[in-house]
Amino acid sequence: MKIWIGCDHAGYALKLEVLAMLLEQNYTVEDLGCDGSRADYPEIAAAVGKAVAANPEDKGILICGTGIGMSIAANKVRGVRAALCADHFSAKYTRLHNDANIICMGARTLGSGVALELVDLFLNTPFEGGRHEKRVAMIQDMENHF
Ligand code: RB5
């Protein structure tokens, strides 16, 4: 599994902390920007979204001020299930039930201690499958119809 990560200017400092943790844990990570200068979050969300959609074993991490813009934009990419998470329960259950493939976080709404734990939980929780398979398939079906 490779981790694709991106942020806008508001998320840059938190991204550096997340990156440091992932590298320390020996994850393979690719940073798709930004470099700290002003950036438009839809552009970064599209880059990470396309990478994750093209590589189903991979996961993505997107950080902006609130995490909201990143999640709205990333979910426009077919195959992306991006979840905005601000609490441990959501980070765990969006993997168990939604098979989310991207976690979005707000650097202006979360402390970095919580954010790092959310990433850890997200990356280490498997999809539960079973009755949730059908619901995820329904979302995929929507992508083909609307
Ligand atoms: C940038 O100022 C801010 O709008 C962005 O980081 C994000 O919060 C958007 O949803």
The residue from 9, 85, 88, 97 that is catalytic is 97
Note the pLDDT of residue 55: 98
The pLDDT value given to residue 1: 97
- pLDDT for the residue numbered 118: 99
* Spatial distance between the Cα atoms of 95 and 42, rounded to a whole number of angstroms: 23
Which residues are 3's β-sheet partners? 29, 59
Taking 50 as the pLDDT cut, the residues of the chain under it are none
Give the burial class of 68: count Cβ atoms within 10 A of its Cβ; 0-12 exposed, 13-18 middle, 19 or more buried. Answer: middle
CB of 10 shorter than 6 A to ligand 1: yes
Nearest CA residue ID for atom 10, ligand 1: 69
Strand order through the sheet with 2-7: 28-31, 2-7, 59-64, 102-106, 82-84
Q: Does residue 69's CB lie within 6 angstroms of at least one atom of ligand 1?
A: yes
pLDDT, residue 4, reads 99
| Residue 64 appears among annotated catalytic residues | yes
The whole-number pLDDT of residue 140 equals: 97
- Read off the pTM: 0.98
Q: Does ligand 1 have an atom closer than 6 angstroms to the CB of 71? A: no
pLDDT at 44: 99
pLDDT in the model for residue 42: 98
Which residue has the least CA distance to atom 4 on ligand 1? 65
Taking only the tens place, the pLDDT of each residue in 6-18 is 999 999 999 999 9
Ligand 1 centroid distance, CA of 110 (Å): 14
What does the alpha-carbon distance between residue 41 and residue 46 come to, in Å, rounded to a whole number? 9
